[in-house]
Every structure is written in C-alpha cells, then in structure tokens.
Amino acid sequence: MSAASDLSVALRDFSANVRAEGRSLILRLSGNADMAAKDSLDSLLPRVHAEAQRISATEVQVDFRNLEFMNSSCFKSFVTWISEIGDLERSKEYKIRLLSNPEMHWQRRSLHALRCFAVDLISVES
Amino acid sequence: MTETPTAFELTFQPNVELISIVRRFLSDFYERMIEDHDTVSRIALATHELLENAVKYASDGATFLSVTFEPGGTSSTVSIRLMNRANAEHIAAVATIFEEMSLHDDPFGHYQIAMARSAKRKVGSGLGLVRVRAEGEMTMSHTIEDDRVTILAQTTVTARRRS
C-alpha cells in the first residue's frame, strides 16, 4: 500500500485515513468537511482512486459515520471521483460502499443523491 | 409552539471558519422550534450552502443573513435570506442558475444533471444553490438590484408541539 501519509489527511476539524483489507480499501472520514477540507479532499480522492487501481480493488468503503457535515465543494470531489470510476474499463471498475450514520440526518439525502448518480457502482448502508 | 415570528440576523465579513459555527448555532436555534430532526438538518444544510455561496462571492466582503421562523395555523414557514454585493460575473452566474432551476420542475432531477456537469468542472462545483433546492427542499427566489444579490430560500415545516 502507498505510504499512510499519502492516504491520510489531518486538519483541525477534518480527518481522513485509508486502510487496506484484502482487495478492499476503507476510507474513513471524520469531522466537518467544509471549505477548509476541500483542497485536502480534492488531492486525497485521486490518490485513493490510484491506490484502488494499483491493488485491483473490488470495493472501496467510505465510512461517513463520523462525518458531521459535508459541503457542496467536498461533495463535488466525490462526484468527480465516482465519475472517474465510471470512465474506467468495465473490468477495472470497483464498487463503492457508503457507510452512513442515521443520526447524521444530512447523510440520508446526500448519500442517496450520490447513489442515484451511479447506481451500478454505489451502495449505501446504515 | 412559538406564537410570534422569531428572527435572527447576522452580518459578517468573509471568514469561512465562521460558517460551520453559524450552522451549528442555527441547528440549535431551529431545534427549539421544529419537531423533526431531519427537517432541522436540511434547513441547516441550506443555510450553510447559502452562506458559503454569499461569502465566496461577496465583492465587498460583507454578507447579511436573515433567518425568520413564522408560525402558522397548521404549519410554519422558515425563510433564509442572504444578501451580498457581487461583481457582474457572479451576478450573471446566479441569474443563470436560477434560470436553469426555473426550467426544471423536479429539483432532484436537476440536481443529478448538475452533478454530471460538476464532475468535469475544474473550478467550483456549481452545486451549492441546486443542492439547497433539492436536499434542503427549499423554494427559492432571487432579486438583483444594482450590484446587490438577495437570495431567499423558504420551506414549510411542522412546528414543535407545546409540551
């Protein structure tokens, strides 16, 4: 796996880290993904995408359960990432599983919108 | 239930760190008047996105936020109003987004179209106002007077029952 520092973000109010589990990656997000997190997320998600392809991942789990909020700029970073997966050859595609927290009410609508954007690639779990 | 309108106004200079603080404060503010946590969440999301939109594009740095809660007989109305001065480019961009929204009756369908376009954008997301309408379930309008842009987002809610 790429160096952990390449696949992690630690800001004052936002953090993200990635770990591998077999042919899956688990991206865990915590805190508040607002404007302060945007640049970090913009640079992290392409690296996650590259790592997923490097290990021929079948799935990337994105754990939103400790994410208090995500603004539209950070949401766009995910939209771009999902679009990039959709642009891969079918044999190189991998699935994305979004782990949500029902107590973070914004997630129900936002993650549903992401899922509808690529229903063949994305599933949402509470 | 609150019987009289409750209002909150704030004017501040651009500081993106303030926006999340205001969102958390307003969540507490709405929780006192609105029964449903999901409703509070979508209003807080809408407020956050509108504030970010205004702060990013305010030409003189000042952004004015007004939140009003108006109780009614069977339901209550929440109005979020954002006002800022903006340059011609931003004013045109806002007008374009509202024009596009008027052409799409289905907010969620429009949101999906905007997401597909946003995926390939290099600058900005173009999603903030569209998200307010779709995820925030807001009715939106705007006015432009000279270089002043005012955006009004409104939604109807079930008020907290009296205990």
Q: Which residues of A touch B19 (CB under 8 A)?
A: 34-35
Task: Evaluate whether A36 touches A60 at the Cβ level (below 8 Å).
Answer: no
Amino acid A57: pLDDT: 96
Sign of CA dihedral B128, B130, B131, B133: positive
Amino acid B17: pLDDT: 81
The continuous run of DSSP H or E covering B108 comes out as: helix B107-118
Residues A54-104: tens digit of each pLDDT: 999 999 999 999 999 999 999 999 999 999 999 999 999 999 999 999 999
Measured CA to CA in angstroms, residue B25 lies from A11, A50, A64, A92, B17 at distances of: 22, 39, 22, 45, 13
Confidence of residue B14 (pLDDT cuts 50, 70, 90): low
The whole-chain average pLDDT of chain A stands at: 95
Q: Do B48 and A80 touch (CB under 8 A)?
A: no
The continuous run of DSSP H or E covering A67 comes out as: strand A59-70
Confidence of residue B114 (pLDDT cuts 50, 70, 90): very high
pLDDT at A2 over 70: no
Q: In angstroms, what separates the C-alpha of B38 from chain A's closest C-alpha?
A: 5
3-state secondary structure (DSSP) of residue B33? coil
Amino acid B81: pLDDT: 96
Instruction: Give the C-alpha separation, B17 to B9, whole Å.
Output: 18
pLDDT at A4 over 80: no
Residues B118-157: tens digit of each pLDDT: 999 988 899 999 999 999 999 999 999 999 999 999 999 9
Please work out, in degrees rounded to the nearest 5, the angle formed at the alpha carbon of residue B134 by the alpha carbons of A100 and A40: 55
Amino acid B162: pLDDT: 57
A88 touches chain B (CB under 8 A): no
Rounded to an integer, the average pLDDT of B8-26 is: 86
Amino acid B147: pLDDT: 93
The whole-chain average pLDDT of chain B stands at: 90
Of the candidate ranges A23-32, B64-73, B94-103, B137-146, the one whose mean pLDDT is the lowest: B64-73
Confidence of residue B61 (pLDDT cuts 50, 70, 90): confident
Amino acid B1: pLDDT: 45
Model pTM score: 0.93
Amino acid B138: pLDDT: 97
B51 touches chain A (CB under 8 A): no
pLDDT at B161 over 70: no
Measured CA to CA in angstroms, residue B3 lies from A93, B72, B74, B80 at distances of: 55, 8, 12, 19
Confidence of residue A3 (pLDDT cuts 50, 70, 90): low
Instruction: Give the C-alpha separation, B98 to A88, whole Å.
Output: 34
Q: Report chain A's C-alpha Rg in angstroms.
A: 13
B123 touches chain A (CB under 8 A): no
Short-list B41, B136, B43, B123, CA closest to B90:
B123
Rounded to an integer, the average pLDDT of B22-34 is: 90
Q: Strand A14-21's sheet: what is its strand order? A: A8-10, A14-21, A24-33, A59-70, A95-99, A122-125
Q: Do B20 and A110 touch (CB under 8 A)?
A: no
pLDDT at B92 over 90: yes
- Ramachandran angles phi, psi of B86, nearest 5°: -145, 160
Output the six-digit token pair for A102: 């029902």
Amino acid B124: pLDDT: 86
Instruction: Provide the greatest CA pair distance for chain B.
Output: 51
